[in-house]
């Protein structure tokens, strides 16, 4: 196929032919642009661009944080306002019910004081205001303490205002009839007439006989 070319005078047939290599062509990487700030390895080609991006990111975080803070402040202010409104309503209700509870408390004290003073023998209930209420206590369930002590102290200082204890009256002895019963008078049926059926003379005689029996007893 190929014909042998004759060697030139200055050519050495013992030296092998050296292949011809084409020179390498260097291709430069594309420069980083604003729309593509990173290289293929993920690194910023321009440090100034990196700093600008970080500043922008920090500014965005600051804006978000400010919004969160403002939202929290709005919520806190709403909570404070709601609490203040609730406290105001509770105070108004308490002020409205306070005189009602005070009246109920005083009525309960007066009722119990009257009962214990009566049991102690106080003769005149108009004297109740003289009993000191300073030591009387009433809790939220209207349990009272100090009333018995107040009544006892008043009785000790003013015993004349109370009924004095009296001894029980001795039993009256029945008259004892001695001797034989008298014979019935003529016309006496043995029964005692009722006072309303007696004549004046019979009533006077009956009264005289009863007095005599009592003197004998």
| Token reading at 191 | 């029964």
Q: Domain residues for 104?
A: 47-161
User: Would you write out the chain's pLDDT as a tens digit for each of its 217 residues?
Assistant: 444 555 444 445 454 444 544 444 444 444 444 444 555 555 667 888 888 889 999 999 999 999 999 999 999 999 999 999 999 889 988 888 889 888 988 999 999 999 999 999 998 989 999 999 988 998 888 899 999 999 999 999 999 999 876 655 556 555 555 544 455 555 555 555 666 677 878 878 877 887 777 665 5
For the stretch 47-57, pLDDT in tens is 888 888 899 99
Q: Is residue 132 part of a domain?
A: yes
Q: Is residue 182 part of a domain?
A: no
Q: Is residue 18 part of a domain?
A: no
Q: Is residue 38 part of a domain?
A: no
Q: Is residue 133 part of a domain?
A: yes
Overall number of domains in the chain: 1
Q: Is residue 112 part of a domain?
A: yes
CB 120, CB 162: distance < 8 Å:
yes
Q: Is residue 136 part of a domain?
A: yes
For the stretch 78-93, pLDDT in tens is 999 999 999 988 998 8
Q: Is residue 147 part of a domain?
A: yes
Q: What is the reported pLDDT for 217?
A: 53
Distances (CA, A) of 67 to 77, 81, 92: 15, 21, 37
Please tell me whether the overall predicted TM-score, pTM, comes out greater than 0.75 for this model. no
């Amino acid at each position: 196929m190929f014909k042998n070319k004759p060697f030139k005078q200055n050519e050495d047939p013992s030296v092998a032919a050296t292949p011809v290599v084409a020179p390498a062509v260097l291709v430069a990487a594309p420069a980083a642009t604003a729309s593509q700030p990173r290289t293929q390895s993920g690194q910023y080609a321009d440090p100034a661009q990196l700093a600008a991006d970080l500043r922008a990111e920090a500014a965005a975080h600051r804006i978000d944080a400010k919004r969160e803070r403002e939202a929290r402040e709005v919520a806190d202010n709403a909570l404070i306002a709601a609490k203040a409104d609730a406290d105001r309503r509770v105070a108004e209700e308490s002020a409205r019910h306070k005189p009602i509870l005070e009246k109920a408390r005083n009525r309960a004290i007066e009722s119990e004081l009257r009962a214990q003073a009566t049991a102690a023998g106080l003769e005149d209930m108009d004297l109740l205001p003289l009993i000191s209420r300073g030591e009387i206590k009433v809790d939220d369930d209207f349990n009272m303490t100090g009333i018995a002590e107040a009544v006892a102290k008043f009785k000790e200082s003013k015993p004349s205002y109370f009924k004095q204890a009296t001894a029980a009256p001795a039993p009256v002895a029945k008259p004892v009839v001695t001797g034989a019963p008298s014979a019935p008078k003529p016309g006496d049926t043995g029964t005692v007439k009722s006072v309303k059926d007696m004549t004046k003379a019979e009533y006077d005689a009956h009264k005289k006989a009863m007095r005599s029996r009592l003197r004998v007893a």
